[in-house]
Every structure is written in structure tokens, then in C-alpha cells.
Amino acid sequence: MSKPEILLIVSGSIAAYKAAALASQLVQDGYAVQTVLTAGGRHFVGEATLEGLTGRPVLTDLFESGRAMDHISLVEAADLVLVYPATANTITRLRAGLADDLPGCLFLANNFHKPWWIAPAMNSNMFAHPAVAEAIEALEQWGCRVLPSGEGRLACGATGPGRVAEPEEVATLIAEAFA
Ligand SMILES: Cc1cc2nc3c(=O)[nH]c(=O)nc-3n(C[C@H](O)[C@H](O)[C@H](O)COP(=O)(O)O)c2cc1C
């Protein structure tokens, strides 16, 4: 039996290092994991790390030669798409339907045929800002599953909501979804 396919989109949060732990866990749990790094995500986690953990090249460029149809085919191949961590920028871009990068095209091409999950990760004030809060609400209404973000110490030193769901929690939710 072929392995379930997880399309893991990693955006540019300080919590992006946790995506490496999540990718590792998912591979150990028997999933095939394809990673996409946003422009911001490339500043936070190395492509060699994600490629080494998943055994697949990390995709970053909408216009990469030889991979022109990735912006459609990646969601066709996926059983579940997960944006982990999801930045304020990526969330509001998805809400706006912007399609000038690989994640934005994938979001529109998916059109909710496959489950699309989002794990917000940001400073509490960013999380509470109406631009972000309304985007999260809209994405949820459209059919995204927004994973609960925890409260706790944030990288900025503050304590409050906006902390990304832990990799183990997300791996458990995925296992439940495929059970
Ligand atoms: C050190 C550092 C940490 C950051 N952490 C976050 C974060 O946790 N959440 C967030 O929404 N933005 C964060 N940002 C801002 C994003 O990296 C920035 O908005 C970026 O454009 C996001 O790009 P992306 O959505 O394409 O990945 C951080 C920026 C820096 C410099």
C-alpha cells in the first residue's frame, strides 16, 4: 500500500525549526512528506535539513525549470496539506487569494478538494490583529482546519496566544485524521 502523502508548507516563523521535527516524526510514522518552503521560510530552516529528513527535494520556486506544473500537481498528489508554521503573512496572503508564489497557487488549485490545515505561529499582538484574526476566521469558514495555537512563552519574550501547536500534537491529529 502506498504511503499517505503530506504536503508540508513551511513559512517564515521563528517556529520553523519545529517543522523539521514534525517532518521527521511524520516520516517515522509512515507518511511520505513533500516540503515547500516559502520565501520567508528559507531564512529559518535549511533545505538540506528538510531534504535529508524527507528524502525529497525541497520546493521553493513557482517557476523552477522542469517543475512547471508543481503548482497544480503537488495538491493532486497530496492527501493532506499542512502549513506549519503559518505566518501572519502567509495566512493573510492565502486569505487574499494571492497566487504569485507556490503556496498561493497550490491553495487556489486545491480549492478545498484535499484537507488544508494551517498552524498559526506568531507574536500575540500579530495574532490578535484584525487583519490576521479576520483572515483566520475566513479561511476556517472556507473549509481550512486551523490548528489551535497554544499560549505560552513566545520567542519575542512575551507570554500569550500565538504559539504554534507542538509537532507531537500535530502528528497525533494527523494520525487521527488517517485512522
Ligand atoms: C526573527 C524573526 C522571527 C519572525 N517570526 C515570525 C513569526 O513567528 N510569525 C510571523 O507571522 N512572522 C514572523 N516573522 C516575520 C516573517 O518572517 C515575515 O513576515 C516574512 O515575510 C514571512 O514570509 P512568509 O510568510 O513568506 O514565510 C519573523 C521575522 C523575524 C526576522
CA 133 to centroid of chain Cα atoms:
17
Q: How far is CA 148 from CA 32, 116, 142, 163, in A?
A: 24, 14, 17, 9
Looking at residue 154, its pLDDT comes to: 73
Q: What is the CATH number of the domain that holds 30?
A: 3.40.50.1950
Looking at the structure of the chain, the number of domains it has is 1
Other beta carbons within 10 Å of 18? 22
* C-alpha of residue 179 to centroid of ligand 1, in Å: 33
Residue 90 Cβ contacting ligand 1 at under 6 Å:
yes
Q: Per residue of the chain (179 residues), give pLDDT as tens.
A: 789 999 999 999 999 999 999 999 999 999 999 999 999 999 999 999 999 999 999 999 999 999 999 999 999 999 999 999 999 999 999 999 999 999 999 999 999 999 999 999 999 999 999 999 999 999 999 999 999 988 777 777 777 788 999 999 999 999 999 99
Pocket test for ligand 1, best of 10, 13, 126 (most atoms within 8 A of CB): 13
**Atom 26 (ligand 1): residue with closest C-alpha?**
40
pTM above 0.95, yes or no: yes
| Residue ranges making up the domain that contains 120 | 5-178
* C-alpha of residue 132 to centroid of ligand 1, in Å: 13
Residues with a known catalytic role: 156
**Atom 24 (ligand 1): residue with closest C-alpha?**
40
* C-alpha of residue 172 to centroid of ligand 1, in Å: 26
Looking at residue 150, its pLDDT comes to: 80
